[in-house]
Structure 1
Amino acid sequence: MQKIKSIMKDNRIRNRLLMFKLGCIIIMAFLFVGLQTAEISAASGLKLYNYTTKSYLTYTGKQVKATLNGKIISKEKTPGIIIDGIALVSYKDVFVRSDIDADFVYNKPKSTVTLSRSGTTIVMTIGSKKATVNGKAVTLPVAPVKIKYRDAGITNILVPSRFVSETFGLGYTWYSAKSTVAIEKKSSVTLSYNSGKKFEYTGTLANVTIDGKKISLGNMPSIITNNTAMLRAKRVFSDSVIDADYKYNKADKSVTLSKNDNILVMKIGSPVAHLNGKPIVMDTAPIIVTNHEVGTSYVMVPGSFTASCLGYDYTWDNPNRTSKIISRKDSDISNEDKVEHDQENPTEKSGESPSPELGDTGVVFDPGTILHEWTTFDTLIAKSSGVTELNMDMLPSEENGFIYSVARDYSNVKLNTETYMIIGSKPFEKVTSKKNGQLVNLLVSNMAGTNYIYEIQGIHGNYVKNIETEFDYNTQSSRVDFAVIPENYSYDIKLSEDKTILYVTFYLNSLNQVTIGTNDKNDYITLTGMKPLKVNMSEQNGMLYIDLPYTVNSIGDQTLMVAGSKYLNLFYTVKLPDKTQLILGMQDGTQYYVSETENKYTITFQNSNGNVANPPVQPVVPEAPEVPVSEVIDIAKYELIIPKPAGFNGEQILHKDDYFNHRFSIKLPGDHTAYLAANPIINNSSVIMDVSVFLNANYETEIMISTSRLQGYEFVWDNNSIYINIGEPRDIYKNIVILDPGHGGPANGAQYFGAKEKDLNLKMLYTLGEKYFNSNPSKLKVYYTRETDVDMSLSDRAAYASKMGADLFVSLHMNASLSTAAYGTEVYYSTNNNTTNKAGLNSKTMATLFVNNLTSALGTNNRGVKSERYTVVHKNTVPAVLIELGFMSNKNDFALISDPVFQENSVRIIYETLQQIFELYPTGR
């Protein structure tokens, strides 16, 4: 019995052990299965379908997140991926649906994605590294991909995150440990310049102090454009203690600031200002800035230039982002004195006091004997009241009125006016208008009308071509547009007594007086207009034809034989549909000159040996015809046509490309300003923003052309005109090179024996080299990264080639070493930028040509071609080299590179090598 019990006990123990072992096995099995399942899950990653390769795949790499200013903007179910070390993210989730707020267009048939933000447009093609930024070709680090996240059932297009972010000007950081793309968007304000496109301004928003006291700038702080602080003209210089007189002329967009004896006149968009009548070229033109955050526009002017012209000192406080305007210690009139003076002379600021002199001593004109004079009656002509808006301050009607018709009004016609009636079914409540060139837009509130075009030209008159009416159902208002034929006109609006007729009157200039006279030395004719006259003159068979386009003849029809004169024998007037024409008969051998003052235009006549009372401004007609240098057949293809002054040889034309400021100048020796005022320059391009004509300090007539973006130019001429063609640099120039004088500004480079590398680089490449590199743009067009002692970031220098549409990039440096024994010339390139271009050239080949040519011609030690990741060659987009001409740390090399003859020879060899490269590897343009 005892034995049985013992056996049973042993069996129970054995069974428990078996059960324990079985449980351990089961647990281990579960653990193994679990571990195996987890491993399989991690290895499987994202299940994707690639639309380009049309294949399924499992992505097991890092899954990329994206943040904007610290906030996650990517989606958990559709993370970004990494291809060839580049993080790609969903363009919609990251750049469109976030606060980056880019516009997009997805063209499915073409497989392209277009992203636009703040004036930058990127076009990418799925599966291709080729893309464009604002129309210019670029290469992406990796191609965009279209994939489907199979588990989420979502299709996305992924784009290279760093490229898109940095192209849009956004901050970008890659955190590898967190697999996160961190994008930073700077605080910005939405602006537009001169009614152009809106953009996000992310630059400096600055302050202004006057004599240490901060002034309030309201809703528009100072901004930086073209490296210039732009300040509110009225708020800073007129409404402050500076207390300058301020006037803004909407008609010609001129800004006038007057302080003490200084009168500064600037024009919106024009780089040429006039201080006391003298022309001065500014680096940055005044602009009208619209702040779309508050819906207000402001006239803004360059702070340093304006302050200096008004008699103040100016400094820029960079740490505090402040323009500091300071009264000069030698100023003999304080602000307090100026305020008291204004109180004693209340009419001065209102413009009722006499206009101040312009600074030049005027020529005393002797009127001698007046032979004939015609003057109009004031009752025959009219001036615009300037009223362009009406608001009756009435409560809006419950029902809209209706515009019955638009018709010509003949009830109160003046010689220089043309009036139209807009007839309504009820009193007009509110009317606003705007002048856009030769179009006047009226907006009439609470008035319905039909959509109709009234053709006027050739039926009723010569001022208006047609009138178009259109009703807007959304705003319950009508728009009435007048297409005006003349360029120089004014207009106003007014209502009838019962307010049911709206009158729109257009005003032309008027010839109000003509005086013919003679004195001891010459004859003259003076034309006086209601406003400054636009005059065109030509001579044929001894007759001088004076045309006044769209100017009314208010003196009446005149025909007479001129008695008592020396050189004139006939005068009569002709009224033509689009102009008034005056015709003068002259004796043989008569010469004539013109001068212009405000609204008076005087033509002085003398014989070829006589002296004139007014010194000649510019002869209008050549004594003998010129043989044309080049025959211009199709003038329509030229963007700018400049009438060529008489007696002027086209070979004398000078020109200067100020590409840093998007402008260039044509220079004609002598004073031809009056001639060009009488014979206007023809502008056929919307890219040309301003054309300014002035007499510069070298007694040259300078014609400065400002463009909205970088443009190349070329010109030809014939007997009549100078014809200028402008366009994208690659459309104008056959061969384009960027020359980069290394270092600059605070970056001195190597310094040995009292010399700085930055100075040697600039002197050789620009000061000495300009005569070579700028000698013939048709063969070689050069753009410099710097022309003065300023610094420029290495990345910006590298990007210059793409920005300017260049073919090659050359950077000049001087070498240095801890070993004074090192000497010779070496040329660097980057293997990262060594792709062979269409012409068959790459950076290494270019570097080889330079090092061999320089050392053989200059006798320096050939240290060969080397590859380094120097930014200017590594990040470039065209064949690029960096020349280390010699070692400043070596006495023998320094003696060479500081020698003027060696310097001259060096830049000549660089120039000749560039020509050789383009001969061996032509661009094909």
Structure 2
Amino acid sequence: MSLIKKTFHTSKDKILKKKHVIGLWSMFVMVFMIICMPFYIKNDHALAASGVRIYNYTTKKQYTYTSTQVKVTYNGKKISKDSTPGLIENGIALVSYKDIFAKSKIKAECIYDKKAGTVSISKFGTTIVLKIGSRTAYINGKKVTAPVAPVKIKYVDQNVTKILVPSRFVSENLGFKYTWNKNTRTAAIEGKNLPMLLSYNNGTPFYYKGTQGKVTFDGKTISPGNMPSIIRNNTAMLRAKRVFADSKIKANYKYNSKDKTITLSRNGNTLKMKIGSTTAYHNDKKLVLDTAPMIVKNHDVGTSYVMVPGKITASCLGLNYSWDKSKATSIITSPKQQQPDNKAPELGDEAVTFDPGKILHQMETHKDIIGKSNGVHNISNESKTDEKGTIFSISRDYNKLYTNSETYAIYGSIPFSTVTSQVKEKQLILNVSNLNTVTNSYNKQELNGNVLDTIHLSNVDIYNSQLEFNLSVDNFTYDLSLSSDKRILYVTIYHNILSKVTIGTNDTMDYITLEATKPMELVINQNSSIITLNLPGTKIGFSEQYWDITSAKNLHSSYFIQTEDGSQLIMGLKDKYEYYIAEDGNVITIMFPFKGQADIPVNPSQPQVPVEPTEPQKETPSVEDLSKYEIIIPNPAGFTVKQIKHEDQYSKQRFAIRIPGDYVAYLKNNPVIVNSKVIKDVSVSLKSKNETEVLITTSKLQGYELFADQKFIYVNVGNPREIYKNIVVLDPGHGGPAPGAYYNKTYEKAINFKILYEIGKDFFNSDPSKLKVYYTRESDVDLSLSDRAAFAKKVGADLFVSLHMNASTSSSAYGTEVYYSTSNNKANAAGLNSEKLAKIFVNNLCKTLNMKNRGAKAARYTVVHKNTVPAVLIELGFMSNKNDFAKITNSSFQYEAAKVIYETLLQVFEQYPTGR
């Protein structure tokens, strides 16, 4: 009975018993956790306190790091690893150079030199070199002291070796913003508007450090994507498709990758542009852009973009445009919207356009009869011979008959071997080897020349001769060629011609448009009913013409005639008149507004040109209105800037402004206004060439620039970097009692000076707005090397170039090499350093001049070593080598050398703009 009862009880209470057992186990687990919790807490604390086990390769000791473990973020996202955290030493956060700066989105170029024990970290044109265990570091070659030395350690538990560098020091010197958050133990690195690695039209990549702009349309921002607007030549360049087609502007966009043309059209307006060309067409009408469209590649994202000038593009599409300097924003609005009136001057001006109205008369030279030079200026006949011959005849050749050229055939008794050439103003000089001649002269009547005055033949020595072509114009190009038997040398001279003339009228004016094959010089004379347009150096490309003009309001006749040195247009007018001039490259338009329409918006505005003044009335300008100019000279006859000569006499801290004609009395009655304390003296005198000279002396070296209107000549005076965009110091090596190398009765100093100054100044002084050059010496004097180097800082130069000739004890050494100094190799704001400059120069010189390329080399020459800007020393060729000596003393070679140095400087500033 008890067994049955027991069995029954067990079966009946099975579930209850199970619940009882589970409850006991739960209680046991809970009690166990309560008992063990202090142990786990204690153990966890002990684990954290144990820290990170570190092995230091410098001290060769292992220890446990228990201080703050550093995290790193870049633009808010974590880039450090928890398993190998950064460490704190002497209050400075050290982080892995590879994890943080190379493998993260920072993407710096990092190199570890195990043998030297150095780490180099490069980004945005800045290179930081640190040495393990040393606080001495180098930033772009300049010695600095780091806050703490880099360290090489092993994370023992992870079995990983890292090199740790001071995080703030590296970040901020690369240009990033750095913040330390003590609470979260995080180093926050940020990059906003950092330099972009760009290249223009497949050129050399560089770090763009200029303005990164925005664009708005009718008040709403247009997202720039990975390519913000950039500034080039003071013009805001915008993404063509993104801004004008993909936005609410909704222009139609086409890009032809074959001919690189861009077409944008909107509301009946069509704008056609071409990559790299400043010529564009608005509704099939030609206009000239200040800045050409370009392909810009952003190497940070690997994508290229078509960029166009913002203002002209918007305007041609019928939109309003303004530039907000404070916000770096291109503001584009629909025509109905009011433009902001408090903005800074706009970036980029478009060419003048106006309604052509009704064309009354037009004459045009067909393009098929306009010749173009092939650029061949030297000839070297490969089938050379030691035979000596004679030049026995010269005649005019009519086989290649173009409106703008004339060809002369020079006959030799044997094939021509080597012919070189050079130009001096209105003179073309040919040097011919292996052919002598009889001293003789040919005049233009004998040869039926148009722009030719005379050809003079003479012997340089018994085997070589020289031909001087004296021309009536200086605006010419030319080329040389040989007949099939090499016995006839053809010289073709291409001169400027007036290729198209259009006379028309519209609702506001009569006008005449002149188009030539090259830019023209225009001189105007006028009286009450006739205006005469003189074009010196420009011939008429068609026959002389006389037109009666019957449908114009102001004009009644025109007469086109050829003159001795150019051409002349005589315009008859019906009444008193005013006129305005617009120049656009090779095109000049003279506009005669109707009465009541005098305020024609012309840019640039050209005033009337020289007629001898009668008794001029004294004018007293408002100093308040003119106070922004340091010098204001009353304009005696409405001279343009092109008609005013000027000379920078910077070595004497003065400059001269020369006005054609005698206006000494005029300027005595209308004195020059001076608005600057830096001007020490202003004197007015008559020069021997019938020029009135205004000589301005300053208390320190200054730059200057000229502007002019009908009333005044305005002069801005200031420190060179305030005036000029690109400044270079040129240093003709040696001089005076330090002649340099001496071979074959020739001093090195003379060659250096002839190339850089005597020949080169025509290039280097041609346009200060493109390139302003200061010479360390302008005569045969010697300067200390330190003074030459220091001159760059004195004038605020951007670059320094010294020219020398080489020499060696071995006569077999030849070629060109360019030197720079590693101690003066810091990149400037545009990313250019001395080494890059040296490589560009040596490659260009050798390629153009056909010299052996000996490379860019580092040396501690004083003029480059002690300089403060990217500086190079050119060793153009070896005076000790027979072939090099023949080249560097050849006048044609010297001309080409000066030219390639000039063109290389322009190229460098194009690739590495100063941003001024």
Establish whether TM, by shorter chain, passes 0.5.
no
Identify the structure with bigger relative contact order (alpha carbons < 8 Å, sequence gap 6+). 2
TM-score of the aligned structures, taking structure 2 as reference length:
0.37
TM-score of the aligned structures, taking structure 1 as reference length:
0.37
